[in-house]
Chain A
Amino acid sequence: MLVSPYPKTSHWLLVVPALFLAVFLALPFGVIVYRGASIDAFVDSITNSNLQRVAWFTFWQTVISTVLTVVFALPVTYIVSRFRFRGRNALLALITAPFLLPTVVVGTSLLALLPQQLHYTAISIIAAHVLFNVAVVVRVVMPSWAHISPELAYAAHTLGASTFRTFRTITFPLIRPALGFATTAVALFCFTSFGAVRILGGPAFSTLETEIYFRAVQLGDLDGAVAISLIQTLFLAIVLYAWMRWTRTSSTLAVVHSHAASPSRTSHWVAIIIVGFASATAVIAPLIAVAYRSATGWSQVWSRSTASSLFVSVRYAIISAIIATLIGTCIALAVAYSTTSTRVIELITSLPLMISAVTIGLGVLITFDTSPYAFRSAWWITPIAHSLIAIPLVVRIVLPLVQTIPQSLRDAAATLGSRPRVQWLTVDLPLMRRGIATALALSAAVSIGEFGATSFLTRQSNETLPVTIARLLSRPGESQHAQAYALATLFFVFSIGAVFIAEVTRNKRNITS
Chain B
Amino acid sequence: MLRIVDLTIHYADEVILDAVSLEVGTGEVVSLVGPSGEGKTTLLRVIAGIERAESGSVFVDGRDVTAVPTFKRGIGLVFQDNQLFPHLNVAENVAYGLRGLSKNQKSQRVSELLQLVGLADLATRDVAVLSGGEAKRVAVARSLATNPKVLLLDEPLSGLDTQLHDRLLSDLAQLLAQRNTTVVHVTHDRQEAESFADRIVDIRSLHRTPTVVQLPTEAILPLRMAVLRDGTPSQDPTYTQDNAPGCVHLGIFDSDTLVACSSWIPQEWPLDGSKPAIQLKGMAVAKHKQSHGLGAHLLEAGIKHAVAHNTHFVWARARDSALNFYTRNGFHVYGEQFVDEATGMAHHLVMKTITP
Q: Which residues of A contact B (CB under 8 A)?
A: 149, 151-152, 154-163, 166, 169-170, 173-174
Interface residues of B (CB under 8 A from A): 45, 48-50, 69-72, 74-77, 79, 81, 83, 85-87, 96-97, 99, 142-143, 145-146, 148
List the B residue with the shortest CB-CB distance to A155.
B83
A–B Cβ pairs within 8 angstroms, 28 of them = A151-B83, A152-B85, A154-B48, A154-B50, A154-B70, A154-B83, A156-B85, A157-B48, A157-B70, A157-B71, A158-B50, A158-B71, A158-B75, A158-B76, A158-B143, A158-B148, A159-B71, A159-B96, A159-B146, A160-B71, A160-B74, A160-B97, A160-B99, A161-B97, A162-B71, A163-B71, A166-B71, A173-B87
User: What B residues does A161 contact at CB under 8 A?
Assistant: 71, 96-97
Which chain A residues border B71 with CB–CB below 8 Å? Answer: 156-163, 166
Chain B neighbourhood of A173, CB < 8 A: 87
Contact of A159 among B69, B76, B81 (CB under 8 A): B76
Q: By the criterion CB–CB under 8 Å, are A169 and B50 in contact? A: no
**Which B residues touch A163, using CB under 8 A?**
71
**B85 contacts A170, CB within 8 Å?**
yes
Residues of B within 8 A of A174 (CB): 86-87
Q: Which residue, of B74, B76, B96, B143, has the highest number of chain A Cβ atoms within 10 A?
A: B96
| Cα–Cα, bound, A166→B81 (Å) | 19
Give the complex CA separation of A166 and B70 in angstroms: 12
In terms of DSSP, what is the predominant structure of the interface of chain B?
loop
**Measured CA separation A447–B69 after assembly (Å):** 52
Q: Which residues of A contact B48 (CB under 8 A)?
A: 154, 157-158
Contacts of B143 in A (CB 8 A): 158-159
- List B contacts of A155 (CB < 8 A): 77, 79, 83, 85
Most buried by B among A155, A163, A166: A155
Contacts of B85 in A (CB 8 A): 152, 155-156, 170
Quote the shortest CB–CB distance from A178 to chain B (angstroms): 13
Partner of B96, one of A149, A151, A169: A169
B76 engages A157 (CB within 8 Å): no
Sorted nearest first, the 9 A-B pairs with minimum C-beta distance are: A159-B97, A157-B70, A155-B83, A158-B77, A157-B71, A154-B50, A173-B87, A151-B83, A160-B97
B45 CB contacts on chain A under 8 angstroms = 154
State whether B70 touches A158 (Cβ < 8 A): yes
- Cβ 8 A contact of B49, one of A157, A166, A169: A157
- Which B residues are in CB contact (< 8 Å) with A157? 48-50, 69-71
Of A159, A166, A173, the most chain B CB neighbours within 10 A belong to A159
**Residues in chain A near residue B81, CB distance under 8 A:** 151
Residues on A with C-beta less than 8 A from B148 are: 158
A177: nearest chain-B partner, CB-CB: B87
Q: Which of B75, B79, B81, B85 has the most CB of A within 10 A?
A: B85
Most chain A beta-carbon neighbours within 10 Å: one of B49, B86, B143: B86
User: Closest CB of chain B to A148's CB: distance in Å?
Assistant: 9
> How far, in whole Å, are A69 and B72 apart by their CA atoms in the complex?
34
Q: For residue B97, which residues in chain A have a CB less than 8 angstroms away from its CB?
A: 159-161
Q: Which residue of B lies closest to A176 (CB)?
A: B87
Give CA–CA (A156, B85) in the complex, Å: 9
A156 vs B74: C-alpha distance when bound (angstroms): 12
**Bound-state Cα–Cα, A174 to B83, Å:** 14
- B83 and A149 contacting across the interface, CB-CB below 8 Å: yes
CA distance A162 to B69 in the complex (A): 9
CB-defined contacts of A162 to chain B, threshold 8 Å: 69, 71
Assembled-state Cα–Cα distance A465/B290 (Å):
70
Inter-chain CA distance A236–B145, complex, in Å, is 48
Considering the complex, give the chain B residue whose CB is closest to the CB of A161.
B71
A166: chain B residues within 8 A (beta carbon): 71
Closest chain B CB from A160 CB (angstroms): 5
- Kindly state the separation between the CA atoms of A156 and B87 in the bound complex, as whole angstroms: 13
Cα–Cα distance between A169 and B81 once the two chains are bound (Å): 20
Residue among B49, B71, B97 with max Cβ neighbours from chain A (10 Å): B71
Given contacts A154-B50, A154-B70, A169-B96, contact A159 B83 (CB under 8 A): no
Query: Could you say which of A151, A156, A157, A160 has the most chain B C-beta atoms within 10 Å of its C-beta?
Result: A160
The chain B residue sitting closest to A151, CB to CB, is B83
Residues of A near B83 (CB, < 8 A) are 149, 151-152, 154-155
- In Å, the complex CA distance between A162 and B148 comes to 16
Shortest distance from the beta carbon of A162 to any chain B beta carbon, whole Å: 5
Chain B: CB-nearest residue to A169: B96
- Given the complex, which residues of A lie within 8 Å of B70, measured CB to CB? 154, 157-158
Docked Cα-Cα span, A158 to B69, in Å, equals 10
Instruction: Other than A158-B71, A158-B77, A162-B71, give 4 A-B pairs with Cβ distance below 8 A.
Output: A157-B48, A159-B96, A166-B71, A174-B86
What's the Cα separation between A166 and B85 when bound, in Å?
11
A490 to chain B, nearest CB (A): 46
Min CB distance, A152 to chain B, in Å?
5
Contacts of B74 in A (CB 8 A): 160
Q: How far is the CA of A479 from the CA of B143 in the complex (A)?
A: 70
Alpha-carbon gap, A152 to B142, bound state (A):
13
CB-based contact A151/B79 at 8 Å: yes
A173 to B145, CA, bound (A): 22
Q: How far is the CA of A174 from the CA of B79 in the complex (A)?
A: 20
Nearest opposing residue in chain A for B142, CB measure = A159
Measured CB to CB, the closest approach of chain B to A261, in angstroms, equals: 13
Least CB separation from B77: chain A residue: A158
Specify the chain B residue showing the minimal Cβ separation from A265: B52
Closest-CB distance, B64 to chain A (whole angstroms): 19
- In the complex, how many angstroms separate the beta carbon of A164 from the nearest chain B beta carbon? 10
Closest CB in chain B relative to A485 CB, distance in Å: 48
| Minimal beta-carbon separation of A287 from chain B (angstroms) | 39
Tell me the smallest distance from the CB of B98 to a CB of chain A, in Å.
9
Contacts of A152 in B (CB 8 A): 83, 85
Q: How far is the CA of A152 from the CA of B143 in the complex (A)?
A: 13
Complex Cα distance, B41 from A154, in Å, reads 14
- Cα A154 to Cα B74 in complex, Å, equals 13
A163 to B148, CA, bound (A): 19
Residues of B with C-beta under 8 A to A170: 85
Task: Give min CB distance, B72 to chain A, whole Å.
Answer: 8
> Which residues does chain A contribute within 8 Å of B146, judged by CB atoms?
159-160
Nearest B-chain residue to A150, judged by Cβ: B50
Chain A residues lying within 8 Å of B69, measured Cβ to Cβ, are 157, 162
B90 to chain A, nearest CB (A): 15
By beta carbon, the residue of chain A nearest B152 is: A158
Complex contact B96–A156 (CB within 8 A) = yes
Residues of A close to B79: CB separation below 8 A: 151, 154-155
Most buried by B among A151, A158, A159: A158
Please give, as numbers and ranges, the residues of chain A lying within 8 Å of B145 by CB-CB distance: 159
Q: How far is the CA of A43 from the CA of B72 in the complex (A)?
A: 63
Report the Cα distance A149→B143, complex, angstroms: 19
Q: Closest residue to B69 on the A side, CB-wise?
A: A157
A166–B50 CA distance with the chains assembled, in angstroms: 14
The complex places the Cα of A143 from the Cα of B132 at a distance, in Å, of 27
Q: How far is the CA of A173 from the CA of B88 in the complex (A)?
A: 10
A155 to B70, CA, bound (A): 10
Q: How far is the CA of A162 from the CA of B45 in the complex (A)?
A: 17
With A and B bound together, what is the CA distance between A480 and B266 in angstroms? 102
Most buried by B among A154, A166, A170: A154
CB-defined contacts of A169 to chain B, threshold 8 Å: 96
A162 to B99: give the CA distance in the assembly, Å. Answer: 12
> Which A residues are CB-close (under 8 A) to B142?
159
Tell me, in angstroms, the Cα distance from A170 to B85 when the chains sit together.
7
The CA of A149 and the CA of B45, in the complex, are separated in Å by: 16
Bound together, the chains give a CA A155 to CA B148 distance in angstroms of 13
In the assembled complex, the Cα of A170 lies from the Cα of B70 at a distance in Å of 16
**Nearest B residue to A162 by beta-carbon distance?**
B71
